[in-house]
Amino acid sequence: MGYYINVPEGKEKWLEENRTKIYPPGVIPAYEDVPTGEMLVCLFFNTDFTAAAIVYSKAEYEEFKSYRAHRLMVWQRVPTERLIQFLPEDFKEVA
């Protein structure tokens, strides 16, 4: 598991400037409803920090969805072209 948004200006600010949609806290969008050219990002609120996980596959989606009872999550949609910088080279070829 794991490609995350980490930027000097802060992941929350980056998401604010780059997302196309934000879902209310606790609402989990259907994976199949994400338009082509966009990906889900799940912003987790942990005790001491936040984590912005890029949901790049159905398996990742199912994994993150299973955490819902344990952490506050805010799901967002972001254009794939903006997320490419956080993904490994081999993923960039198929995105």
3-class SS at 77? strand
Residue type for 72, please?
L
Residue type for 5, please?
I
pLDDT tens, position by position, for the chain (95 residues)? 589 999 999 999 999 999 999 999 889 999 999 999 999 999 988 889 999 999 999 999 998 888 765 778 999 999 999 999 998 887 765 55
How many CB atoms are closer than 10 A to CB 66?
9
What residue spans define the domains of the chain?
A: 11-92
- pTM of the prediction? 0.89
The answer to whether residues 19 and 74 touch, using CB atoms and an 8 Å cutoff, is: no
